[in-house]
Structure 1
Amino acid sequence: MLQINNMNVYYGNIQALKGVSLEITEGEIVTLIGANGAGKSTLLKTISGLLKPKQGEIVFEGESIGGKVAQAIVKKGISHVPEGRRVFSNMTVEENLELGAYLRKDKQGIREDFENVYQLFPRLFERKKQQAGTLSGGEQQMLAMGRALMARPRLLLLDEPSMGLAPLLVKTIFRIIEEINQSGTTILLVEQNANMALSIAHRAYVIETGRIVSAGTAEELNQSDQIRNAYLGGH
């Protein structure tokens, strides 16, 4: 579904991604784990068109999308839930969700997706007329995910969905990520909570200082001493 081949990305003169290659098959949850500053968010921003790769290619469903504008990439079927949620705080929950569907014209389908999002996140339905800025961190995370789902993506990019959330809420968010995947959406998950990420992912990549240094099934990485010691708090 998604293939990245030998991609290099720079911020000015600083190289943030170095020859990154990875692939995602339809229906998977693939997680990307790594320390702060390793290049995880840069990778998602480059896939979604917020950054342009200097070299390499990004192929989505057989079509090269590297360097296309973000709007065109959303239209192709990729939605990005950014780190820090980035909801529109002066707008209501409902208005934020509407914005997620701004490229769509199918009114009936949009109504159905409103229902689907409210079923997935009942808390958002209770707060639909409330300003997004007044929501808790967990509710804002739900809203950011709901907004991305309103575009009906085939591939959902999630950047640090558990950041700053209480442990109980983290479990809820990860359960919902699994539900989204089971309903047919492929997911690329960037997450510092490597234990949680590997518990729901099919496959994983490890990134260090802009390079992919390890890849395998979630189970393989879970059992690797090197990965356990670096990211999973040892044995």
Structure 2
Amino acid sequence: MLKAENLRKSFKKRLVVKDVSLQIQQGEIVGLLGPNGAGKTTCFYIIAGFLKPDNGQIILREELITHLDVAERAKKGIIYLPQESSVFRKLTVAENFKIVLERFKNNLKIMKEKLEYYVELFDLKDILNQKTYTLSGGQKRKVEIVRALLIEPQFILLDEPFAGIDPIGVAQLKEILETLKNEKIGILISDHNVRDTLKICDKGYVIANGEIIGKGTPEEILENDLVKEKFLGKKFFM
């Protein structure tokens, strides 16, 4: 389990995150939602390791990891994937994977077998020799996620994954997330796309004015009067 407990963060004496607590289990998709300026992004970056909280802690399976940065958390199995594509655009898909495999020279045979499994799982075999700049948004996401999976993560943090992709890409991404869930990977999504996030997540947290105003299943969030008042509006529907 990955937990954030009682997170607080201020910038220039302005309190932007107020005692936020949340948790993610492996094999679970969790949404982190909220209006602009609500503290959602700050909270997400604290969990990822880009920011240190003024108070509170991040715990991974009973181990305190608040002091660890993004790279150190990656070694613990927490992978951050940014909104902007992180693939090497001028390289082929296969070359993108090769860069990761070079880190595992002592275990190359096993890693190649894992790569073959994920290439098959995510239906990438036919595009291995394509330059990544020619791929669709959904295909690039698949390449990014397969690279991440080779590092054997337990949790993946997705920053605005639905931004800038067309409806086909959104559908592909939802399939990817379901696959990751079935692989027992915990997923935290921070996104402005409320409908698509709630359709895919098992539970969600809504932040407004720096604090959690609603949490629970998508159905519970949609029925929450405070969430309607502060974020969704009275006429919002799925």
- The TM-score bracket by the shorter chain reads 0.7 to 0.9
1:134-213 to 2 correspondences below 5 Å: 134-213=134-213
- Report if the CA contact (8 A) 1:77-1:153 is conserved: yes
SS in 1 for 2:164: coil
User: What residue number does 2:78 align with?
Assistant: 78
| 1:2 CA drift (Å) | 1.4
| 1:147 CA drift (Å) | 2.1
Q: Which consecutive residues of structure 2, in runs of 5 or more, have no partner in the other structure?
A: none
| 1:177 CA drift (Å) | 0.3
Aligned residues: 234
| 1:11 CA drift (Å) | 5.2
2: distance between equivalents of 1:100 and 1:205? Answer: 33
Are the structure 2 counterparts of residues 43 and 128 from structure 1 closer, same or farther at C-alpha, using a change threshold of 3 Å? farther
Are the structure 2 counterparts of residues 118 and 61 from structure 1 closer, same or farther at C-alpha, using a change threshold of 3 Å? same
2: distance between equivalents of 1:97 and 1:199? Answer: 31
What one-letter code is carried by the residue in structure 1 that aligns with 2:223? Q
The CA deviation string for residues 67-109 of structure 1, in whole angstroms up to 9 with x for no partner, is: 2132221111111111222323343323433455676553233
| 1:223 CA drift (Å) | 3.0
SS in 2 for 1:87: coil
- Report if the CA contact (8 A) 1:110-1:150 is conserved: yes
1: distance between equivalents of 2:177 and 2:236? Answer: 26
SS in 1 for 2:174: helix
User: What residue number does 2:58 align with?
Assistant: 58
- Report if the CA contact (8 A) 1:120-1:176 is conserved: no
The CA deviation string for residues 179-217 of structure 1, in whole angstroms up to 9 with x for no partner, is: 210121111122222222222222110012432221112
SS in 2 for 1:51: coil
Are the structure 2 counterparts of residues 38 and 98 from structure 1 closer, same or farther at C-alpha, using a change threshold of 3 Å? farther
Q: Which consecutive residues of structure 1, in runs of 5 or more, have no partner in the other structure?
A: none
Normalising by structure 2, report the TM-score: 0.84
| 1:111 CA drift (Å) | 1.4
- Report if the CA contact (8 A) 2:213-2:227 is conserved: no
Max radius of gyration: which structure? Answer: 2
2: distance between equivalents of 1:85 and 1:38? Answer: 25
- Report if the CA contact (8 A) 1:49-1:73 is conserved: yes
Are the structure 2 counterparts of residues 100 and 37 from structure 1 closer, same or farther at C-alpha, using a change threshold of 3 Å? farther
Are the structure 2 counterparts of residues 146 and 65 from structure 1 closer, same or farther at C-alpha, using a change threshold of 3 Å? same
1: distance between equivalents of 2:66 and 2:103? Answer: 20
Over the residues paired in the alignment, what is the CA RMSD in angstroms? 2.6
- Report if the CA contact (8 A) 2:17-2:43 is conserved: yes
Normalising by structure 1, report the TM-score: 0.85
